[in-house]
Amino acid sequence: MTAIAELAMPLSPGLLVVLGGLLVPLLPVALARLYVLALPAAVLAYTLALPSGEHAAIAFMGLDLQLLRVDKLSTVFGSIFLIALFLGNLYAWHESDRMQRTAAQIYAGAAIGAAFVGDLVSLFVFWELTAIASVFLIWAAGTDRAFRAGMRYLVIQVGSGVILLAGVLFHVHGTGSLAFGHIGLDSPGGPLILIAFGIKCAFPLLHNWLQDAYPEATVTGTVVLSAFTTKLAVYALARSFAGTEMLIWIGATMTAFPIFYAVIENDLRRVLAYSLNNQLGFMVVGVGIGTEMALNGTAAHAFSHILYKALLFMAMGAVLFRTGTCKGSELGGLYKTMPWTTGFCIVGAASISAFPLFSGFISKSMILTAAGSEGHYITWGVLLFASAGVFHHSGIKVPFFAFFAHDSGKRPKEAPWNMLLAMAATAALCIGIGIWPDPLYAMLPFPVDFVPYTTGHVITQLQLLLFAALAFTFLMRTGLYPPELRSTNLDSDWIYRKVLPAIVRGIGRGIDAVWGSLTGIGLALVSVAIDGSARNFGPNGLVGRTVRVGNGVAWVTALLLVVLLVSYAAS
């Protein structure tokens, strides 16, 4: 039995990272750089040594909370989160901003903590902490666009938490259980919990916070953001809604529609944000199918995706760091002075495109096989189309327009050594997992009975990629491929960025008009009353002016006469 197993109450790895992150502002910058590399490495070793089972049960305000549940699903997600944090910290070595470094540790720690909790209340706490900590990585860019995008991001992310809390309250009231396990749509509060998870997972029409916020973050912040929020949502879906058929169609839609936006988008970091949405769709489909192979494919694809998406964002971040832009229309020819970054970007592009011998191939093929073997042939066809599409916009477009397309005349220096080292380590993992997937397969939730490198799998994938490349070449040669232009693409965020503010402004103008009319009428009535009072009670008014004694006697006599008549009538 390990030393950890002998502890009365082992601590959650996520809590260790959060508490460790709080120490960052107290350290000198040079020491903090080393510290944030040692922190995730040490916690990863601790995590892998944790015994399976439920630990750290505490009673709080009458609630039974489970802060640490260790099984294969939580371990595979917790492990890749820690690896991603290490790589992100290495990539950000050159940064001296303590706020960003602290926010990154707390954000990652919250996601890791959520992956290991066993109750819904603890999940809610970590869920909201990811939102609050991560927004500082957007605001750290210091631009007005980043501030506005961060505010929208925070409202949506905190809103997801509020919906989650409402769903949890309904669920606990209806079932009496706080357990964070399978929930399903039939459970009280299940639909609300699914919506909360769907917001963070960027379901269709709930997705555009991702493309709105991530490209506005700092160079290093976007790399960190790409790893945690959406994959935490995938984990939550796999834990609570496996086998929910609705998710198959939601996921299939997610894989397809971002392709069209990514093809016409000029900002290459925003292209990668759309392709992130596309890849999430594969995972959601796997959760919806719900078989052991599908859930293994979801976990494996989340693991692979965090690495190759981080690598692509690292490459584009290096370009942005050196050139000041990520617009395809302003780039090209950078391979001449940034050859290492170019090579690492190509590795990421090959991985996301699921080339054989790269990580995407050994995970995406599991989900495709699960869809086909369960008879979801339409979904399988959509996923096949989406696989070709992602090769177009992330496999070809991003490296082609950034490094090769046309010579922009820019001759920037190669990326800093720490960025290159982070990209090299990530690229090595992408290739290593692609060549030797067995260690990853051994970590998956269920026993793996799948061989990715069969003749059929390899030939089918190579044919798909070949024809996608031919289609891209044809469109480029004929001038039919959408050119890289300065433009703004309208997406679902148009509703809350343009339509809703216009409606609110219209309502505000209507309220102002009604209020103006009411106050005008009121002022007119007050003016009439004042004028009448002045006429009757002023110095020259009928009542207020000075009268002669005779007139006064006449008035008193008249009043007495009235009183006598009233008294006589009353008697």
Q: How confident is the model at residue 4 (pLDDT cuts 50, 70, 90)?
A: very low
Q: What is the pLDDT of residues 124-183, one digit of tens each?
A: 999 999 999 999 999 999 899 999 999 999 999 999 999 999 999 999 999 988 999 999
Residues 267, 327: Cα–Cα separation, whole Å: 4
Q: What is the pTM of this model?
A: 0.85
Does the pLDDT at position 8 exceed 80? no
Tokens for 443?
A: 């970590």
Mean pLDDT of 369-373: 93
Q: How confident is the model at residue 334 (pLDDT cuts 50, 70, 90)?
A: very high
- Residue by residue, DSSP assigns 281-340 as HHHHHHHHH-SHHHHHHHHHHHHHHHHHHHHHHHHHHHHHHHHS--BGGG---GGGT-HH
Mean pLDDT of 322-333: 90
Question: Which pLDDT value is given to residue 561?
Answer: 77
What are the helix and strand counts (H, E) for the chain?
23, 2
Residues 105, 107: Cα–Cα separation, whole Å: 5
Question: Which pLDDT value is given to residue 496?
Answer: 61
The three-point CA angle 73-223-392 to 5° equals: 90
Question: Which pLDDT value is given to residue 82?
Answer: 97
Does the pLDDT at position 3 exceed 80? no
Question: Which pLDDT value is given to residue 7?
Answer: 45
Question: Which pLDDT value is given to residue 397?
Answer: 87
The mean pLDDT of the chain is: 88
Lowest mean pLDDT across 234-238, 365-369, 482-486: 482-486
Question: Which pLDDT value is given to residue 518?
Answer: 80
Does the pLDDT at position 333 exceed 60? yes
Phi, psi of 68 (to 5 degrees): -145, 110
Residues 416, 31: Cα–Cα separation, whole Å: 19
Cα distances (Å, whole numbers) of residue 40 to 3, 32, 37, 104: 20, 13, 6, 12
Residues 386, 279: Cα–Cα separation, whole Å: 9
Q: What is the pLDDT of residues 218-243, one digit of tens each?
A: 999 999 999 999 999 999 999 999 99
Does the pLDDT at position 17 exceed 60? yes
Residues 509, 405: Cα–Cα separation, whole Å: 50
Question: Which pLDDT value is given to residue 570?
Answer: 67
Q: What is the pLDDT of residues 244-286, one digit of tens each?
A: 999 999 999 999 988 888 888 889 999 999 999 999 999 999 9
Question: Which pLDDT value is given to residue 328?
Answer: 86
Spell out the domain ranges in the chain.
13-238, 242-485
Question: Which pLDDT value is given to residue 511?
Answer: 83
Does the pLDDT at position 51 exceed 60? yes
Q: What is the pLDDT of residues 513-566, one digit of tens each?
A: 787 778 878 777 777 777 766 666 566 665 555 556 666 676 677 777 777 777
Does the pLDDT at position 5 exceed 60? no
Mean pLDDT of 492-521: 73
Residues 318, 182: Cα–Cα separation, whole Å: 41
Does the pLDDT at position 12 exceed 50? yes
Cα distances (Å, whole numbers) of residue 117 to 17, 68, 230, 252, 445: 14, 5, 17, 29, 17
